[in-house]
Amino acid sequence: MTNRQCSSCTACCEGWLTAKINGIQIKPGTPCVNCTKQGCKIYETRPKNPCVSFKCGWLIEPDKFPEHMKPSKCGAIIVFSQWGGKGVVKATPVGEKIPSDTLDWLMAFAREHSLPLMFNEHLFEDGKYIGLTKKCYGPQSFIREEDTRITPEDIMRF
């Protein structure tokens, strides 16, 4: 169990993770209409899925992720996920790109745990969100280009 709290972090409400909230799509550049940047306007009645159920890695894994990896501080939302039947760490930038010191920390974490790190960059043109690029950093044995829609130059191996 963890006593960590989201407090004033709203990284997962700001649209960096795409989702539908009460039927309204959020996406990069389009935060949830209920997000005040300090919290949620409808906190007591927020939807169960995804709002109540979503918990980022920092929130639920205090032994793995130190305080400075809180999304509102480090600029990335981290989740554990599955890819090809194996565990991976996924990181989504809170903004266009994951800050370089955070990415360095995540890469070291991936090496230490022999886990692939999948992350992305959000692309904007004239202030408008136009999509994302996917990148992967992981063990030689795990990353196979044909398993992904990641272009070869966006795959880094250790």
Contact (CB, 8 A) for 22 and 49: no
* 3-state percent helix, strand, coil for the chain, nearest multiple of 5: 25, 30, 40
Nearest C-alpha neighbor of 113 from the set 84, 152, 142: 142
Phi, psi of 153 (to 5 degrees): -70, -15
Q: Restricting to residues 43-62, which ones interact with ligand SF4 according to CB under 6 A?
A: 46, 51, 54-56, 58-59
Q: Quote the CA–CA distance of 65 and 151 in Å, as a whole number.
A: 29
Q: Which stretch binds ligand SF4 (CB under 6 A): 28-36, 99-107, 109-117, 131-139?
A: 28-36
The one among 69, 74, 76, 77 contacting ligand SF4 by CB under 6 A? 77
Cis amide leading into 50 (omega within 30): yes
Q: Is residue 40 part of the contact set for ligand SF4 (CB under 6 A)?
A: yes
To ligand SF4, the closest distance from the beta carbon of 149 in angstroms equals 25
To ligand SF4, the closest distance from the beta carbon of 77 in angstroms equals 5
- Residue with smaller CB distance to ligand SF4, 10 or 120: 10
Interacting residues toward ligand SF4 by CB under 6 A: 6, 9-13, 21, 32, 34-35, 40, 42, 46, 51, 54-56, 58-59, 70-71, 77
